[in-house]
Structure 1
Amino acid sequence: MKRHSNTHQLRLITEISMTPFMDLVLVLLFVFLLAAPLLKADKEMLAAATAPAPANLPPATPAPTEKMVLQVNSDLSVTLNGAMMARADLPVSLKQIAGRNPGVGIEVRVHRDLPVQQLVETMQVIEDAGIQKTAVTTHAAAP
């Protein structure tokens, strides 16, 4: 006699659940919707970088022919290339330097504890002297 089991027979499942597939499609859709504007911006930046420069831009300024260091210390004393000078004599000295060498560059070293107004006043003196190439650094103490 043949025995019959009460357990169910295994059968092949031929259907696929669509829920995980739709989740994946929606996630990919959101990713591509977010990435498309970024890719477009990248292409525009690349095109702008490889395009020739517009004609209305001023020519690039050449590097300074001579570099001088103007140091403003915490006690408001001023040194120009290591030589101590009175702050009142600074505009005249800078105009003479700019007259002798129009391509001179000035590195302004300002003590970090000074108010910004001191830097602004120093930069104004440099601009009034006709010097256009400047750099600004701060320092803690005299070297």
Structure 2
Amino acid sequence: MDETRRDRDAEGRARNARPRDGLGRPLPRGAAGVERQPEGVVRTPEETVREAQRLLDAGMPFHAHEVFEDAWKSGPGAERELWRGLAQLAVGLTHAARGNATGGARLLRRGAAALAPFVPDHPYGLDVGGLAGWAGELAGRPARRRRA
């Protein structure tokens, strides 16, 4: 295979087909990786929260971010910032777990800020205020202790 050619999906968009590890890092072609989350899945908000939590519990924040991203892209406009904020928290955890403490902290803060307008509403039973506070606290920890 020509290594300069980009992998493409069925619609012709560039998509990296290399297997990935549990934190979403590309592995060498032919390596055993973690099954990827399908993209573009439309779920109910409750299904989104349940699936993302399952992935977070399994130590797969990158994959949880993809679930939240689907909701962000397919959900109603009034909820986009909620799902975007949750996706940013998951990606912040991903960066921290990969050893990028600075990037992880930045995304955790950005995600917490995006969640702020939703704090009073507890959408879908989520303790958004608790999540935002936890993310801010985690982002403020010294880098050597910030591991997801």
Larger Rg: 1
Q: Same fold (TM over 0.5)?
A: no
Greater strand percent: which structure?
1
| Larger RCO, structures 1/2 (Cα 8 Å, 6+ apart) | 1
TM-score (norm 2): 0.27
Task: Select the structure that is richer in helix.
Answer: 2
- Taking structure 1 as the reference length, the TM-score comes to 0.28
